[in-house]
Structure 1
Amino acid sequence: MKKTINIGLAGYGTVGKGVMSLLLSKNEDLSARAGAKLRIKRVCDKKFAAKDKADARRLSEQNKGYHGLLPESKVYTPDIEDIFNDPEIDIFVELIGGYQPAKRFILLALERGMDVVTANKNVLAKDFNELLAAAAKNKRRIYFEATAGAGIPIIAAINEGFCANEIYGLAGILNGTTNYILSEMSSGKAGFNESLKKAQKLGFAEADPTLDITGGDSASKLAILSSLIFKSHIKPSDIYTEGIEKIQPFDIKLGGELGYTIKLFTLMEKVKPEQGKASAKEGVAFQVVPAFIKSSHPLASVSGAFNAVYIKSDAAGEQMLYGPGAGSLPAASAVVSDIVYSARHIMEKSALHMPFFDLKKKPPRIADAREVESCFYLRFTAEDKPGVLARIADILADHGISVASVVQKDGFSPKAVPIVVLTHEARTGDLINAIGEIDKLKMVKEKTVYYRLLDI
């Protein structure tokens, strides 16, 4: 019987170093859980090229104390072929990031008979079906706990813990960068640009934070979680996505005064068929949007770089998973968990045992974001004169939108004042149509700002 599971790790960055640290420092316990000795056979990164050989030598010296956990021969290499040409490698750990060549490496590892552990949300969200088909063809497995929520075991929870449930709603805060920025802005400590720079300095944000602040990173994570829930491939292109770059401190402050906190949410929710349409059927809307939530709700207290996922299910009810959404060890914890799972099933020779899902079910009807019903926060910037509010209210009423409350504040300029309206529940499409009409009025001086008021 096989007594050692050999691991090839590609990508020795922040997470890769965390994985090495956990595998080496906790090897005895992890190996006992896996049922075999876990050994790191190869570590590949471009930084181990000829000009950086000193780093590889330094690491080899540093890890000399881990007898039997690292081979005597070359461990640190700049050449990925050293992993793929090694017939002893059982598990390929992909921590390179990006789309290519990561996808090509994942497929090649499966072809070479290796299980794959990856933290790559971009490849998985886009090509879920292709990767699972390749794994099935080669009778191997792909593990991806670290792709969403870092150290939060949300993949395992959806895939196993909630297997007896229908999950009919999900609201998540799944990007540490944007949550840190909004937490800083909400505290009044800094504006958007200052908060972003601070996040970068602390390592919560990339040098190029575009995917984070525009919502693209959150959309990939929501696509993965939704694909598991519906057992069909939900793509990032199925998700209506907005970012946080246009959020102004005024709205955050006023929302706070009204009892709300703003977050960038990943949302999956059922949508009722529109009345009067005989052919209509229930759909599911997927969104990444900034939205207000009552400050008393548990999700409102998720601050800094922390993540959370709030799940609504038929049997287990409403539950929230919460934890660090960034950092070396939280993400590494999820990767190592997958390595142990993989090793265990290699030992058991249970090639089809994990994962418990496929993506062969018929996908739900993807509802347009305009079909979603919600209460809203609206901020109009209009002339300060009689009749303005009445005209705005008339247009809202014409589109079936009922006003719940109105707040008028001192303006940004002597010629215009902000008028904040909170609405009762309305269809998003009707609201957008009403705003389009209101923004054409001469008395309205700026484009109307609107956010959902989540009731979950």
Structure 2
Amino acid sequence: MGVAVLGLGNVGTEVVRVLREHAADLRARVGAPVVLRGIAVRRTDVDRGVPEDLLTTDAHALVARDDVDIVVEVIGGIEPPRSLILAALNAGKSVVTANKALLADYTGELAEAAERNRADLYFEAAVAGAIPVVRPLMQSLAGDRVNRVAGIVNGTTNFILSAMDETGADYSEMLAEATRLGYAEADPTADVEGYDAAAKAAILASLAFHTRVTAADVYREGISKVTAEDLATAAAVNCTVKLLAICERVEDVADDGSPRERISIRVYPALVPRDHPLAAVNGAFNAVVVEADNAGRLMFYGQGAGGAPTASAVMGDLVMAARNKYYGGRGPGESTYASLPIAPMGDTPTRYHVNMQVPDRPGVLAGVAAEFAKRDVSISTVRQEGAGEGARLVVVTHLATEAALAETVAALADSEYGVSVTSVLRLEGTKE
């Protein structure tokens, strides 16, 4: 089984190391030798610790070689990976990729090319690094009905929020620390603004609900506006704040009165109770919780990024692809039979934790409660702190739609009660 590796960054370096150091084990597991044919890099005049004759700057020529059966893409980004993967699949070669950004927008095109050419497309490493979550959704739970997938899928943001929770420091301080330690990129936008998590959420939703989902379908908020005060507020109600990727079925009633089922895919910072499993996931670790009809709740936890953990997932896919090639089989392809519609964020029900500054005067609390009631936003608890013109009012709601809550906040800002809404955080992981 001839293997071409595209990219020799942190992940590619680890993949090449495993291929070279564990060749005997791989041969035994696959049933045939797994041979590294070449590595595509940008420059060949740099000492990379591998034989020079394996290196090439012509990735397209490497992919086209007759002695290459499996292509491992660990370059990242959209182009040239998209063109290279399509070329490989169109030539009947199996592909293993860790490219979540590409898959989030082009899974359909790539999956169709794989199906046309009877080739495998594997991407376990694209979501949550070493954590096996893609294969369980595609295979282990193929006979079950998945209702919800929620988790922490970005290590950088989880490190920052965990550090803010532990130290009381603000966002900018902990972002600087994450950069110093190598958890955050020089440009952290993809992580801290939720783009990375949104791409992974699109992949998870596609698998869980047999529906083609792209990154554009995912509602996204990042953590750059989360404050130390938000973490302190969370601690006061025995919660912490996590950036969550949530994919779930939403059942409600259409305008004509008929029942309907849609899916909601969203990424945002949320309060999570301390007794919820995700609250204990700290540092750069990831975790994904899957809820299904028959399997119940399953939790997958581990290292969600890094060269070696991600290479572990890549190598697992590579072994599967090599076995299929050797024995003449194929792995499961894309499943989109359900084609469920995407629910707009405004229709998505969530609980909310609303912080307000209010004057401590007779009638203010009743007026605030009335604004919530007018829009059918049911209040679970109310807590007031302080007195005078700068009293603090905290309202926790029952399930309410995003649209109803947004209308309530706007109405409070325009009301006669002198209310200033200082923050709104969603509350996840609780039962009504």
Task: Tell whether the structures are fold-level matches, with TM greater than 0.5.
Answer: yes
Residue of structure 1 in register with 2:393 after alignment = 419
Match of 1:33 among 16, 21, 29: 29
Structure 1 position 131, deviation (Å)? 0.4
Instruction: Give the aligned partner of residue 95 of structure 1.
Output: 74
Residues 93 and 188 of structure 1: CA distance in aligned 2, closer, same or farther (over 3 Å): same
The question of 1:449 aligning with 2:432 is answered: no
- What's the CA shift for 1:312? 0.6
Find the aligned partners of 1:17 and 1:281 in 2 and give their Cα distance.
48
State how far apart, in whole Å, the 1-side matches of 2:85 and 2:351 are. Answer: 44
Counterpart-to-counterpart distance in 1, 2:70 and 2:255: 55
Give the number of aligned pairs. 430
Q: What are the equivalent positions in structure 2 for 1:285-434 lying under 5 Å apart?
A: 285-350=264-329, 353-354=330-331, 356-409=332-385, 416-434=390-408
Deviation at 1:156, TM superposition (A): 0.9
Return the letter of the residue paired with 1:424: H
The match for 1:129 is 108
CA contact (8 A) 2:150 2:247 kept: yes
1:9 to 2:12 alignment: no
Q: Unmatched 5+ residue regions in structure 2?
A: none
3-state secondary structure, aligned to 1:264: strand
Matched, 1:206 2:197: no
Q: Say whether 1:193 aligns with 2:168.
A: no
**SS state at 1:59 partner:** coil
Supply the distance in 1 between the matched residues of 2:428 and 2:128 (Cα, whole angstroms).
24
TM-score where L is the length of structure 1: 0.89
Aligned to 2:247: 268
Q: Which moved more, 1:414-423 or 1:304-313?
A: 414-423
Post-superposition Cα deviations, 1:23-79, rounded to whole Å, max 9, x if no partner, equal 22222212211111111110111132xxxx2515x532xxxxxxxxxxxx8102222
Does the 8 Å contact 2:6/2:74 carry over to 1?
yes
Say if 2:147 and 2:292, in contact at 8 Å, map to a contact too: yes
5 Å matches for 1:224-263? 224-263=203-242
Take 1:200 and 1:316, find their aligned partners in 2: how far apart are those partners? 39
Q: Secondary structure at the match of 1:405?
A: strand
Name 2:140's counterpart in structure 1: 161
State how far apart, in whole Å, the 2-side matches of 1:54 and 1:131 are. Answer: 32
Distance 1:303 1:77 in 2: 40
Amino acid at match of 1:430: A
The reply to whether residue 176 of structure 1 matches residue 172 of structure 2 is no
The Cα of 1:407 is off from its aligned counterpart by 2.6
Paired with 1:107 and 1:244, the residues of 2 have a C-alpha distance of 35
Please tell me the residue identity of whatever aligns with 1:59. Answer: V
The Cα RMSD (Å) is 2.0
CA contact (8 A) 1:148 1:154 kept: yes
On the 8 A contact 1:170/1:311 being kept in 2, the answer is yes
Task: Find the counterpart in structure 1 of residue 19 from structure 2.
Answer: 23
Counterpart amino acid of 1:116? Answer: V
SS in 1 for 2:419: coil
Structure 1 residue 235: Cα displacement: 1.4
* CA distance in 1: counterparts of 2:268 and 2:419, whole angstroms: 25
Cα distance, 1:275 vs structure 2: 7.8
CA shift, 1:395, in A, is 0.7
